Each structure stands twice: as structure tokens, then as C-alpha cells.
Amino acid sequence: MALPVQAVSLDVPAKSGVLMDVATGTLLYEQDAHTPLAPASVTKVMTMLLIMEAIDSGRISWDDTVTASENAAAKGGSQIFLKAGECMTVADMVKSIAVSSANDCACAMAEHIAGSEGAFVDRMNSRAKELGMNDTHFVNCTGLDDEPEAENHRTSAYDIALMSRELLKNHPDIRQFTTIWMDTVRNGAFGLTNTNKLVRFYDGATGLKTGFTSAAGYCLSASAQRDGMELIAVVMHCDTSVNRFESAKALLSYGFAGWCLVQPEPETALAPIPVTMGTAETVTPVAESSAPLLLEKGLQKSVKCRTELLPETEAPVEQGQRLGTLTVEADGNTVAEIPIVAREAVPRLTWGQLLLRLLRALCMVGEK
């Protein structure tokens, strides 16, 4: 169920911000959410998303060796000081990007995946369109704004939440890196400390990415999980690093205090539904969606589920054909109506099959 953004007053000293639930994508708070702004290194949420998609699809692996180019080694800002020709595993590259916001590693991974940073940026923009990030245009994979074309490198708080959700929801392994507080690379020779202070100081923090340049100010996509619910708080263009973290904490704490997830379940197991004139005698009913519902906290105790099913149906039955409804109520109000559909198709008997079934029935009668 789509819930309205709450008209509340929060102490969020940021130019723009949003709070989004990961499971449902519901916005719980927004403040100037669609204004395109410079995102600094929060850009790397998209960079990490494309890396994880390449890993999870099998196009690259964690153990692959990545060789740093002159271009990657020349990147400024946050870095681990790669030398041209230096080799490092994908795992250590991703760790350096997620923990220390390493621009040199981001560029090296972009080149490793797409052949060049420019080709990778094309993929970033294409993926942004697929995700509905309508306020976004990327010109690099780092968020650095030291080149003239960076004036066109823009995204919004809402779009950052969209790509953050995609990363967390569909690529959970990224949390192995975004939750690291301190670690090393180069066989322990180079130390990493997470730029996201919430990883250490906010209960349940799962990531995700900080950003800062003089033009962008202090930005953050912060995620945290409590009681089975994960939230994303995005704040952009804060005046100080303290404001960035305090703003994100305020949003996350507001979300955890006011909302919860409920998994709707039928009151009893759904029994097979008889099918007439079908190649099978019954069809299996299943809920069309198993997604949780987002409710105001406290309502979960009053949740009741009611099932209505057809007593029987006639073939042909298509897979996904509606067979009933699972109605979910909270505090006496309907909060969701989930279709119950056919798990499998049941074709209609042909004339030949009907004749064969009739002959078998007659034979059984004759045997008696």
C-alpha cells in the first residue's frame, strides 16, 4: 500500500533530503527531493551498483585482478594512492571504494568493466534511466567536480535513494564492505577508515556512502536496519559534516520510531481449488505478491487477514489467473487487497482426452 509522505517538521539542516523504506520503496519524508544538485562521492552508489551487477551476473569475480591505469592513478581527492600498473583484486578495490571512497579505485573498476571511464559513465546514465532517476545526469564515476564538464554532473536526493535501494535490495553482499569501520588493503600495509561515521555510532547502520566537495557541500546516503526494516536517509548540501550525520540520524530515527513492516499471511493454508474439464483435477492458489506491507508502528498488533477463494473454476486456467483475494486489515481498516492467483496453468481437456477419460471410467465400472 502506498503511504503518503508525512507532513512533519524535522530538524534536518540540509538543502534537500528524503527517507525511503528499502522493502517497499515508500517515501516517508521528503524535503526538496527532486532538485538536481552536485552529489560529490555519493555518485559512487551507482558505481558500486554497476560493479555488483557485474559480479552477481558472473561477468567479473571478486578474485579478478584489476590493473590501475595512468588515468586511474592520477585521480585526486579521496584515494588509496594507486600507482600506474599496480594490481589489486576486485574485492580490495570495492572495499577501498566503499570504506574510503577511493576515486582511483572507482576509475580503475570502471575501466576494468567497461574499457574506459567514459563508456562506464554511459552505462551509469543508462542504468539511471532504467531506475526512473529522472533528475540525474552523470559525467564521471567519482563525483569529482574539478573539471568544467562537472557542472552537468547532477542528481537529486530522491534519485540517490532509488539507486541506493536498488543496491541494497538486490545486491546484499555490498554490506560486507559498507559496514566495515576499519580495515586494510595491500596485505595490511594501507589502512582504511570508513568515511561514514554512522557505521560505528548508529545502531543498525548498514552503509552507505558519503560525499564532499566545496561545491556540493556534505552529502550522505545513509542506511540502517532494525527489527527487519531497512531505511535509507539521503541528505544533500549540508554545511558541515556534523550536520550531515545528525540530519541522517534524525531521519532514520523518525522512520524506525513511526513505522514497521508486516508480512501478510492467509489465516489458514490455501487449499487446492477444484478444476472442471481440466487436465488436472485441481489448481494451486498462491498470493500474487509476498512483499511486506509498511504500516504505522503499533498497527501491526491489529492486523487481520481474510481470504476469499473461488469454490471451483473451469479449465483452461492460465498461470497467474486470479482465483481470489487476500484482504489485509489493520485497526478495522483495509490496508491491502492482494490477488490470489493460479500457481500453474491447467489446460482444458481435448475431445480425445475426454473420450479416453470416459472409456477408462466405463472400464472401471465394468470391472466392478
Q: How far is it, in rounded angstroms, from Cα 340 to Cα 201?
A: 44
CB atoms within 10 A of CB 363: 9
Distances (CA, A) of 362 to 170, 212, 275, 357, 358: 56, 82, 21, 9, 6
User: Which is the catalytic residue, given 16, 41, 164, 247?
Assistant: 41
Contact present, 317 and 278 (Cβ < 8 Å): yes
Nearest to 44 by CA among 259, 285, 207: 207
The DSSP code sequence of 208-239 is EEEEEETTTEEEEEEEEEETTEEEEEEEEEES
User: Which is the catalytic residue, given 101, 156, 221, 247?
Assistant: 101
Residue 101 annotated in active site: yes
Strands 205-213 and 217-226: antiparallel
User: Which is the catalytic residue, given 15, 16, 44, 209?
Assistant: 44
Residue 100 annotated in active site: no
Name residues whose C-beta falls within 8 Å of residue 249's C-beta, 6 or more positions apart in sequence.
Answer: 198, 202, 222, 233
Residue 241 annotated in active site: no
Q: Which residues are catalytic?
A: 41, 44, 101
